[in-house]
Amino acid sequence: MRKVLYRAMEDGSPVEMIYMKKSEFSKRTILIKEIKNGYVKAFCFQKQQIRMFKIDAILAAVPYKKRKHYA
């Protein structure tokens, strides 16, 4: 998973992640700005602002893939 985070930061590509805060799960799409001291500093598309995420609380991370909408 860390490999996905570092690669996304280098490429400047978004990541979808499952994050656990306290006892709640959250699915976020982020654009990573920095990884340092066990934290990911990223722009969160859901909150529309820069947020800090604890790496140990990220349960899963995959490169973001735009979904196709079928009519």
Neighbours of 50 (CB within 10 A): 13
Task: Summarize pLDDT for 10-61 with one digit per residue, the tens.
Answer: 999 999 999 998 889 999 999 999 999 999 999 999 999 999 999 999 999 9
**17 contacts 61 by C-beta, under 8 angstroms:** yes
Residue-level pLDDT at 69: 60
Residue-level pLDDT at 19: 95
Phi then psi for residue 64, to 5 deg, are -70, 135
- In the chain, where are the structural domains located? 2-63
Q: How far apart are CA 69 and CA 71, in angstroms?
A: 7
**20 contacts 32 by C-beta, under 8 angstroms:** no
Q: How far apart are CA 68 and CA 18, in angstroms?
A: 21
Q: What is the pTM of this model?
A: 0.85
Fold classified for 2-63 = SH3 type barrels. (2.30.30)
